Structure 1
Amino acid sequence: MNTDSPRASLAGIAAFYQRVQFATLALAVLWLLSHLASVLVPFLVALLLAWLGDPFVRRLQARKLSRNLAVVLVYLGMLLIVVIAALVLVPLIERQIATLIAAFPRYRDWFLATAIPWIEHRFNVQLSDWLDTGRITAWLEDHWKQAGGYAGTVLGVVSRSGFRMLGWAVNLVLIPILTFFFLRDWDDIVRRITALVPRDHADLAQRLAKESSDVLRSFLRGQLLVMLILAILYAVGLRVAGLELGILIGMLAGLCSFVPYLGPIVLLLLGCGAALAQYGDWHYLIGVFVVYGVGQLLESYVLTPKLVGKSIGLGEVSVIFAVMAGEALFGFLGMLLALPVAAVGNVLMRHVYQTYLASSLYRGDEPAQSQLIVPGSIIDETHGNSDVPG
């Protein structure tokens, strides 16, 4: 009597239920993330900082320092960087904001007297009527009940925003505390997570986790350096070009460069608007375009290839989609998780692709040695070996 068929059926049913369990667990995790997003933000930020600092702790341990001493030194170094950055940036930003407040009437008058008429003439649209104070007052008188409802809504939003600001303040206090504990207990955290992986897949999971960690750490470090260099370049360049708000605009454009193409767009829009409002002359736009061109050349041909490269393996469109999708699904927490999830997903997809190239489904009946080398393939035509576990 042949028992292979019933055994195969039972094995297939068991595998199916196992997949259902994993899918249920994944859905439960996503549900928890969506409901605990605001609570998890400081923990995730602290975990990210501890993950970035752990390699430096290991280097100090390699120099015969104890784990606790290495953690304290790295933690103090991270705090020192934050304190220095705050001492340098806070006065600059404060002065720029004071300049913006003082110059706001001039910017407003330029917008109403010059920008709006030019837009109306250029695009054949009517905007002045909607910005007329008499029209706005009449509209409010005709819709005073609705306006009262809107006012209540605005007050409610402001009230909730106050609680949110308090929550952000609490998070800022929690982040350094959590970072220290995560950094101290990092090895124990990794060991406990590793212990949960099924033993049959432990080696593969460890290899994929290390690859994901390496590419993501390389990308984040490189991208942060690119943002810092571009922020300094834009701020100094716009200030040399004569823009009184050049430092503020340059810093904002440098920070926005984390999302592809957003930094240059912010630089052009705000820089050109500030130059026209300040000087009222098109010739002063030349300085903004020069800073933009130098920044683009430096970023495209020097900074990104040298500091970031192809470490994460994602294109610009993929990065933009990942950030926007993460924000739409889980808010700020989703933005923080977007690139790590995208990097891990890219590593997993690469593993699936390589496994497929090494499988009999792809090769058919032909021997592995006769296969052509495919870009990115793990199949070696000369030696006929593969680094995917059988």
Structure 2
Amino acid sequence: MNHFTFSILRFAAFLLSIILAGYLIIIGKPILAPLIFSAFLAFLLKPYSAWLENRLGNRMWGVIISILSMLSVIFGLILLFGMQLGKIVGNFDDISRKLNEGLQQGFRLIGNLLGMRGSQVEDWLTNNLSSWADIPTQILTSGLGSSAYVLGSILLCLIFVFFLLLYRTSFYQFLLYQFDEDARKKGGLMMRKVVKITKEYLNGLLLVILILASLNTLGLYLIGIELALFWGILGACLAIIPYIGTALGGLLPAMYALANYGFTWHPLAVIIFYIFVQSIEGNIITPKVVGKSVRINPFVAILALLIGGALWGIAGMILALPIMAVIKIFMTNVELLQPVSELFRDDLYQREDVFREKYDDDRYRILNYFRRKE
């Protein structure tokens, strides 16, 4: 009869690996962040690049034309929205001031409803909100100040995309032949499945952002909010965060409307509109386009954002959720990690019995990873 004992060496090796990986992730940000961005872009461009390669009979030219096409679309969008972006940059101090006024009016109203005296509200606003409006300006200033770093990262990202697309078959073959002959077929099937689902997820996520940007912009324009395009795109990007993203995206235009129009129907209309958009996004758009199986629950999403922000700043927060979605897809296709992938699910609270019904087996228990046979 086989006996298993807990292995301190295995557990120590696991902890040491986690610490070393974390250290390498932190110091490797200048290279790893552009590389991961490039991998996601390569996933998105791969179908178009492969189509061009088949038409041209040359992979290198297919890759070059696909990257140039992407850059053309980006530059076209910049030119299309250049006037509004210029207006935003030119009036950034005024926008920041109006947002601060909106915050103050909102908190004064809340304070009055809670029965606080006017002097108490003013003191609290002075002590806590005086620097809030400076945060966007500081972000913009730091971004402009590090423009050389940003341009360098973009150039590095484009170089990585080029080589990832050009050498994609060689990279795939390298990974495939890390499996022995017996496991190669199963390993290749798993890799193809992960790649397929990842591409579908990224394409679906991009489509959701475009749909929400259109809905947000149209709704804000009809309400009469200035800079509707800017607020609409911002809200669409923030909507990547489950449940709370749309609320965060609607908070800024609501405060902006409050500062511009006061306590009229405009701020209320913005709030009602974003509640409506959030319900449509959470129940119809994202489940239909992205698929419910790869959605991340809010707890994991917020934790990923905090960790990503702590490690890599804004770049880490942008990459956090796509990385977690890819990790979840990978774990779903690895038997040993399938119970962990269940903890990522958006409908976790509806699947409380899945661990008892499906994963009550020794091969799924985490402690078994740190046991050795005697």
Contact 1:237 1:291 in 2 (8 A): yes
Deviation at 1:326, TM superposition (A): 3.6
What is the aligned partner in structure 1 of residue 352 from structure 2?
Answer: none
Aligned residues: 327
SS at match of 2:38: helix
What is the aligned partner in structure 1 of residue 326 from structure 2?
Answer: 343
Deviation at 1:284, TM superposition (A): 2.3
Distance 2:141 2:231 in 1: 30
Contact 1:327 1:333 in 2 (8 A): yes
SS at match of 1:127: helix
- Residue identity matched to 2:331: L
Distance 2:331 2:85 in 1: 42
What is the aligned partner in structure 1 of residue 163 from structure 2?
Answer: 181
Distance 1:293 1:182 in 2: 41
Unaligned runs of 5+ in 1: 137-156, 357-373, 377-390
What is the aligned partner in structure 2 of residue 146 from structure 1?
Answer: none
Deviation at 1:342, TM superposition (A): 4.4
Q: Please state if 1:261 is matched with 2:255.
A: no
2:203 alignment partner, one of 204, 221, 230: 221
- Residue identity matched to 1:305: P
What is the aligned partner in structure 2 of residue 67 from structure 1?
Answer: 59
| Percentage of matched positions with identical amino acids | 23
Deviations 1:347-371 (A, max 9, x none): 4345427999xxxxxxxxxxxxxxx
Deviations 1:14-56 (A, max 9, x none): x999998788666544432222123321222123212322232
Distance 1:88 1:53 in 2: 22
- Residue identity matched to 2:123: D
What is the aligned partner in structure 2 of residue 35 from structure 1?
Answer: 27
Distance 1:294 1:279 in 2: 22
Contact 2:220 2:228 in 1 (8 A): yes
- Residue identity matched to 2:233: M
Q: Which moved more, 1:77-86 or 1:26-35?
A: 26-35
Q: Which moved more, 1:249-258 or 1:279-288?
A: 279-288
What is the aligned partner in structure 2 of residue 119 from structure 1?
Answer: 110
Deviation at 1:255, TM superposition (A): 0.9
SS at match of 1:305: helix
Q: Please state if 1:296 is matched with 2:278.
A: yes
What is the aligned partner in structure 2 of residue 244 from structure 1?
Answer: 226
Q: Please state if 1:46 is matched with 2:38.
A: yes
Deviation at 1:305, TM superposition (A): 2.9
CA RMSD of aligned residues (A): 4.0
Distance 1:16 1:116 in 2: 54
Structure with bigger gyration radius: 1
2:48 alignment partner, one of 48, 56, 59: 56
Structure with the bigger RCO (C-alpha within 8 Å, sep 6+) is 2
What is the aligned partner in structure 2 of residue 150 from structure 1?
Answer: none
What is the aligned partner in structure 1 of residue 372 from structure 2?
Answer: none
SS at match of 2:156: helix
Distance 1:40 1:248 in 2: 29
Deviation at 1:161, TM superposition (A): 7.5
- Residue identity matched to 1:211: K
**Relative to 1, partners in 2 of residues 1:189 and 1:89: Cα closer, same or farther, differing over 3 Å?**
farther
1:280 alignment partner, one of 262, 269, 273: 262
Distance 2:44 2:92 in 1: 36
**Relative to 1, partners in 2 of residues 1:288 and 1:46: Cα closer, same or farther, differing over 3 Å?**
same
SS at match of 1:348: helix
Contact 1:208 1:348 in 2 (8 A): no
Distance 2:178 2:333 in 1: 24
Deviations 1:197-224 (A, max 9, x none): 4555333332222222222221111111
What is the aligned partner in structure 1 of residue 177 from structure 2?
Answer: 195
- Residue identity matched to 1:118: L
Deviation at 1:238, TM superposition (A): 0.9
Deviation at 1:193, TM superposition (A): 3.1
1:234 alignment partner, one of 216, 234, 240: 216
**Relative to 1, partners in 2 of residues 1:193 and 1:23: Cα closer, same or farther, differing over 3 Å?**
farther
What is the aligned partner in structure 1 of residue 354 from structure 2?
Answer: none
